[in-house]
Amino acid sequence: MGVRMNLMEPFETALDFQTGVLRPAGRIIKRHLSDMRGMYADANAERKVFESEGDRLIYEVHAVDLPEKTGLVLYCTTIIHPGRIGAEYHMTKGHFHEKRDRSELYLGLAGEGYLLLQADDGTVRGLPMARGTMAYVPPLWAHRTANTDDEPFAFLAVWPGDAGHDYGTIEQSGFAKLLVDGEQRVNLVDNPNYGLITRTT
């Protein structure tokens, strides 16, 4: 169990810029491949990972434990471990905000990655992220991050307390583009499963 902060008292958190770890530890969420079934385009590659190594840890969220309340600022770090499922880089589930008009700010801490953004009409934008990159997630855009390097990719996220996470839309339809390893290093390619129900459990 992590430490729950008192929202009416000043407090400080120590952020390790190399690892993205926050102290004191708040809520830590570990997302494994089984938490993302059907989200990677290559179902065979996903199955092979399960068969050869079991349930791989893909990413961790280290959140300062504060209530999701209007007027509060929430923050957490995300650490995406390096690796691919098929050609697709390890990534987060991705979400819209329940309150769609809420925005968010990311700050790259360590490693290299990409922020993938998707509007309601399927328009996709990709922003490369590295240490020191501040990436703005506008209202109305779904967002997902991926680790495009061989080291852990860590970033800090800050967002309004009442934004909420809507995972359902992405679980149903996916992103229109995939981030895959290619000759030019990072490629953004069409997702053959976009718009289909991709989640199997």
**Stretch of residues binding ligand M6P (CB under 6 A), selected from 9-17, 93-101, 121-129, 183-191:** 93-101
Shortest Å distance, C-beta 54 to ligand M6P: 21
Residue 99 binds to ligand M6P (criterion: CB under 6 A)? no
> Would you tell me which residues interact with Zn ion (CB under 5 A)?
104
Query: Which C-beta is closer to ligand M6P: that of 49 or that of 61?
Result: 61
Judged by CB under 6 A, which of 15, 58, 64, 76 binds ligand M6P?
76
Chosen from Zn ion, ligand M6P, none, partner binding at 94 (C-beta under 5 to 8 Å by type): ligand M6P
Strands 88-89 and 113-118 turn out to be unpaired
**Stretch of residues binding ligand M6P (CB under 6 A), selected from 20-28, 48-56, 89-97, 187-195:** 89-97
Q: Where is 89: in which H helix or E strand?
A: strand 88-89
Residue 78 binds to ligand M6P (criterion: CB under 6 A)? yes
Query: Which C-beta is closer to ligand M6P: that of 46 or that of 104?
Result: 104
